[in-house]
Amino acid sequence: MIASLITRRRIQLPAAGRAAHLVERNTVLYRRHWLLLVSGFFEPLLYLLAIGFGVGALVGQSITLNGRPVAYAVFVAPAMMATSAMNGAVYETAFNFFFKLKYSKLYDAVLATPLGVADVALGEITWALFRGSLYALGFLVAMAALGLIKSWWALLALPAAMLIGFSFAAVGTATSTFVRTWQDFDLVLIVMIPLFLFSATFYPITVYPGPLQAVVQFSPLYHGVSLVRSLTTGSISPGLLVDASYLVILAFVGLAIAGRRMQRLLLK
Amino acid sequence: MVRSSTDAAALVHARGLTKHFGALVAVNGIDFDVARGEAFGFLGPNGAGKTSTMRMINCVSAPSAGELSVLGLNPVTDGPRIRARLGVVPQADTLDTELRVDENLYTYARYFDMPRALARQRTRELLEFVQLTDRAHDEVEPLSGGMKRRLTIARALVNEPELLLLDEPTTGLDPQARHLVWDRLYRLKQQGVTIVLTTHYMDEAEQLCDRLVIMDKARIVAEGSPRRLIDEYSTREVLELRFAIDARPGLDGKLAGVADRVELLPDRVLLYTHDGEAAAAALHGRGVRPESTLIRRSTLEDVFLRLTGRSLIE
Ligand SMILES: Nc1ncnc2c1ncn2[C@@H]1O[C@H](COP(=O)(O)OP(=O)(O)O)[C@@H](O)[C@H]1O
Ligand SMILES: [Mg+2]
């Protein structure tokens, strides 16, 4: 009896090989819709051009980072890179994942094959991470071309962006499992927009009064921005480990919630 | 629990299999075995528990109680290994609507870890088998219901399954599309594929199943080949009478003793007898004048009516 209770609770563990087939399914789809994929990259680039350079021209050299003055565009660009990684991951896991979960019933079909829910979660999150990383890579190249990179540490900005993608993909997937209708995504946007605007993206966190700074510290994008900005500007400090840890923990919490929820929704 | 050696060889073996959804009992302690090479059916009305049973066999729904083994393995712990050898046609189509027809088969083959070249080859063969080769590069959504169903069947065959699960394979299809599907399933049967199917169409069950169980309200109420079930639970012939609405009350007592059993349905009266002609003549002698008279053979529909007091399709 005890044994049967234990086996009943057993969740099929993910296997990279199985999850990879779901990633491949997405590449089959986007081979024909690559324009859709690429479009998500331009939004943060436009922000960089408009605000980084446009507003930057008004601001001048007035931003200080770790005691050094930097051009406003140098300050804003890494934040936009972090945002591009976030966007790629969230577009994929919020909207696309929800469509596949609730409307096209893709996962009902997939779960009839050897893949389990954990494989589906891992596969989709990996794909979202790819998409986010692709945007981040494009952005990093654009930053280099525009002379906005100030340190060789910037090479680590790509893995940092991948971590951001992973975290947001996991949280996005977990969130999507709670979404009931497309209208609920308005709520997701209500969270995403302030996250984008207030995560020390356009100005340093020190602008806020103390208590508000504490609140901003909860924003995963704040930690992502902090990570990428430190690397592209070469201002390395132990604080980076805190930023990275926060994102890693969030990713695993998201993954665990996503797996459990999918188990409940799909394997009744 | 004692298990005979024939049961151990069964592809699906269930004893006391039960599924709860909260307080609702969807499947209530059913016993059945499916032997290799047979076409086995679950015949029953909506809500009988057919889909719930199929999902447990498919290892996507854990049994609440009872024993279940599929291909000799435990669905709860060996899900991936079992599913690798199953083909599944779910009740509602779950085609990948974002992909084209051929991509649906190719990606599905890849889920089974099939090498790419083989996946492409299987795609071509199966499109041929379900007569969709000319639609290979089309989107899925504009396909007719029958074509989608055939594509779903092709998809279920991609891994050359030992056991094919079909949940209401032809529900909602027009007669021509149904016959096309039946024809393909019949060929698979000839090739020796073991088939488990659910249906609420008695003609489908009669056409395709070597053996079936009749399910009603979460339980199995009878088991056997279509022929044997009819012999056991019904008479050879059925005399069907239709009356003008106002003529029905005048029937009182006039039907007694003419047939083994009488069923008064809202739209017709059924008399179960070994000799329909004789029964019809006897009724004529008693002055019964129906609007129409039909003598036919018994079907599984009659068996179901006998066992449950209701029609299969309400
Ligand atoms: N996921 C579910 N949650 C709650 N009840 C369910 C669920 N799936 C099926 N049921 C209920 O279980 C019963 C049997 O359903 P089902 O197995 O789909 O029957 P059938 O396939 O024979 O029509 C029905 O009363 C149905 O409403
Ligand atoms: Mg059903």
A200: phi > 0 → left, psi -120 to 50 → alpha, else beta; which? Answer: left
- Please choose, from the candidates A14, A1, A145, the residue with its C-alpha nearest in 3D space to the C-alpha of residue A73: A145
Mutate to test the interface with A, among B96, B137, B163 (most CBs of A within 10 A): B96
Question: Residue B91 CA: which ligand 1 atom is closest?
Answer: 21
ipTM surpasses 0.85 = yes
d(CA A146, CA A152): 15
Q: Name which residue sits closest to atom 12 of ligand 1, judged by CA.
A: B26
Helix/strand/coil percent split, chain A, to 5: 80, 0, 20
Contact flag A7-B61 (C-beta cutoff 8 Å): no
Question: Residue B19 CA: which ligand 1 atom is closest?
Answer: 12
Probe residue for ligand 1, chosen from B51, B55, B197, B220 as the CB with the greatest number of ligand atoms within 8 Å: B51
Per-residue pLDDT reduced to its tens digit, A226-262:
999 999 999 889 999 999 999 999 999 998 899 889 9
Does B23 sit in the ligand 1 pocket, CB within 6 Å? no
Structure tokens at B289: 């004048």
Per-residue pLDDT reduced to its tens digit, A182-220:
888 888 888 888 999 999 999 888 888 989 898 899 999
Does A33 sit in the ligand 1 pocket, CB within 6 Å? no
The answer for residues whose C-beta is within 8 angstroms of residue B218's C-beta and 6 or more apart is B25, B26, B27, B28, B30, B48, B49
pLDDT band at B314 (very low <50, low <70, confident <90, very high): low
**Are A154 and A140 a contacting pair, CB within 8 Å?**
yes
Higher pLDDT, A37 or B3: A37
How high is the pLDDT of residue A10?
56
> How much of chain B, in percent, has pLDDT values that exceed 90?
81
Q: Which residues surround ligand 2, an ion (CB under 5 A)?
A: B 50-51, 91
Does B45 sit in the ligand 1 pocket, CB within 6 Å? no
Q: Which residues of A touch B (CB under 8 A)?
A: 7-8, 10, 12, 17-18, 21-22, 24-25, 28-29, 104-106, 108-116, 266-268
How high is the pLDDT of residue A61?
67
Structure tokens at B258: 């003419």
Distances (CA, A) of B225 to A45, B184, B211: 69, 21, 4
Ligand 1 centroid to residue B27 C-alpha, Å: 9
CA of residue B215 relative to chain centroid, distance: 10
**Are B229 and B276 a contacting pair, CB within 8 Å?**
no
Which of A10, A104, A110 comes nearest B111 by C-beta?
A: A110
Distances (CA, A) of A202 to A48, A55, A103, A190, A208: 10, 10, 38, 19, 12
Q: Which chain A residues are closer than 8 Å to B81 by Cβ?
A: 114
d(CA A89, CA A132): 5
Around B128, how many Cα atoms within 13 Å sit in the side-chain half-sphere? 6
- Please choose, from the candidates A39, A194, A223, A197, the residue with its C-alpha nearest in 3D space to the C-alpha of residue A131: A39
Strands A63-65 and A68-70: antiparallel
How high is the pLDDT of residue A120?
93
Q: Which amino acid is at B173?
A: L
Q: What's the DSSP call for residue B12?
A: E
Structure tokens at B60: 């996507």
Higher pLDDT, B172 or A60: B172
Per-residue pLDDT reduced to its tens digit, A64-104:
887 788 888 999 999 999 998 998 888 888 888 999 999 88
Per-residue pLDDT reduced to its tens digit, B42-59:
999 999 999 999 999 999
What does pLDDT average to over chain A?
A: 88
How high is the pLDDT of residue A11?
64
Secondary structure (DSSP) of A103-160: IS-HHHHHTTTT--HHHHHHHHHHHHHHHHHHHHHHHHHHHHHTT----GGGGGHHHH
Secondary structure (DSSP) of B76-122: TT-HHHHHTTEEEE-SS----TTSBHHHHHHHHHHHTT--HHHHHHH
| Nearest ligand, CA B48 | 1
Chain position carrying tokens 């977990």 = A174
Q: How many CB atoms lie within 10 A of CB B64?
A: 16
Which of B21, B88, B107 comes nearest A28 by C-beta?
A: B107
Q: Name which residue sits closest to atom 4 of ligand 1, judged by CA.
A: B21
d(CA B50, CA B27): 8
Per-residue pLDDT reduced to its tens digit, B227-242:
999 999 999 999 999 9
pLDDT band at A161 (very low <50, low <70, confident <90, very high): very high
pLDDT at B263 over 50: yes
Mutate to test the interface with B, among A25, A27, A102 (most CBs of B within 10 A): A25
Q: Average the pLDDT over B108-129 and give the result.
A: 97
How high is the pLDDT of residue B105?
98
User: Which residues are bridge partners to B27 per DSSP?
Assistant: B19
pTM: 0.88
Mutate to test the interface with A, among B54, B85, B98, B137 (most CBs of A within 10 A): B98
CA distance A133 to chain B (A): 23
d(CA A38, CA A88): 10
pLDDT band at B208 (very low <50, low <70, confident <90, very high): very high
How high is the pLDDT of residue B126?
96
d(CA B98, CA A36): 13
Report the SS3 class of residue B290.
Answer: coil
Q: Which chain B residues are closer than 8 Å to A17 by Cβ?
A: 113
Structure tokens at A48: 């960089």
> How much of chain B, in percent, has pLDDT values that exceed 70?
96
The answer for residues whose C-beta is within 8 angstroms of residue B237's C-beta and 6 or more apart is B272, B273, B274, B275, B276, B295, B296, B297, B298
